[in-house]
Amino acid sequence: MADDNRPLKYMRYAIGEIILVVIGILIALQINTWKEEHQAKRVEFVILTELKKNIEADILELDSTLTKVNHRIRSSKIILKSLSNNDSYDDSLNSHFGWAMVYDNMQFHTGAYESLKSSGSQLINDESLRFEISNYYDFVINDMKTSFREIRDDFYNYMLDFLRKEFLFFENAGPTAQPTDFEALKQNKTFILSLGIFVDVQRQTEKYLKITLKESRDLLEKIDARIEKIDS
């Protein structure tokens, strides 16, 4: 076309070709960007769904553990009151001793969070939610675990020795436990003091359980909202 002295027509053709190539590249980039964003949302959706399952499982266990801790505190108070009032021994106390003389623990479901940390927290595109998730597992759950460790340590350092020396039997299935000599137990100031301290530790655990339950439910609500937004 240039040899035929038609440079203007050639330039128009060349420019048209360039524009078509550029448009093709832009479309390809747009499609690639859309695919990457779609894939990122899909990955985030899967991670959040797994986190949701883990937190829901934890809420069930936290609820169950809180119920048992409340029961242990009530039974401990009944025993301390009976010892303080110099009451006569009654078989109904066996159940209260069974509840009062042991402790509770639980394993948190952290698999999804550990996977998120190893893959990179940036996979959660919502910065605020990303912070909430990190705060929940790194601080709220850790505080709850610390409380469980404290009550376990208190049991093994103090209550277990009483359970071995001052009781005829202990059955966790009931639970039930019978003291060897209830009258002697009334005079055992170390036992009474230790059980009172154990109740205080249980109360602290009860407090953290309530906090953790609230934080769990709040986080679950935010995760549900994000999942719904991604899936819409």
Q: Is residue 156 part of a domain?
A: yes
Does residue 2 lie within any of the structural domains? no
Q: Residue 221 corresponds to which amino acid?
A: E
Is 69 contained in some domain? yes
**What is residue 39's predicted lDDT score, i.e. its pLDDT?**
74
Cα separation values, 1 from 5, 16, 18, Å: 7, 15, 17
Strands 176-179 and 167-171, sheet pairing: antiparallel
Residue 28: the pLDDT is 65
The helix or strand, by DSSP H or E, that contains position 178, with its residue range, turns out to be strand 176-179
pLDDT of residue 95: 96
pLDDT of residue 35: 63
Q: What is the pLDDT of residue 1?
A: 45
Whether residue 1 is contained in a domain is answered as no
Q: Tell me the C-alpha distance between 39 and 36, whole Å.
A: 5
Confidence (pLDDT) at 6: 64
**Within a domain: 116:** yes
CA 146 from centroid of its chain's CA atoms: 13
Residue 131 lies in a domain: yes
96 falls within a domain: yes
Q: Which residues contact 187 (CB under 8 A, 6 or more apart)?
A: none
What was the pLDDT predicted at 231? Answer: 81
In which residue ranges of the chain is pLDDT below 50? 1-2
Long-range contact pairs involving 88-96 (C-beta distance under 8 Å, separation at least 24): 89/179, 89/182, 89/183, 93/182, 94/174, 94/176, 94/177, 94/178, 95/174, 95/175, 95/176
The domain in which residue 157 lies consists of 7-231
- Provide the domain count of the chain: 1
Predicted confidence at residue 13, as pLDDT, reads 66
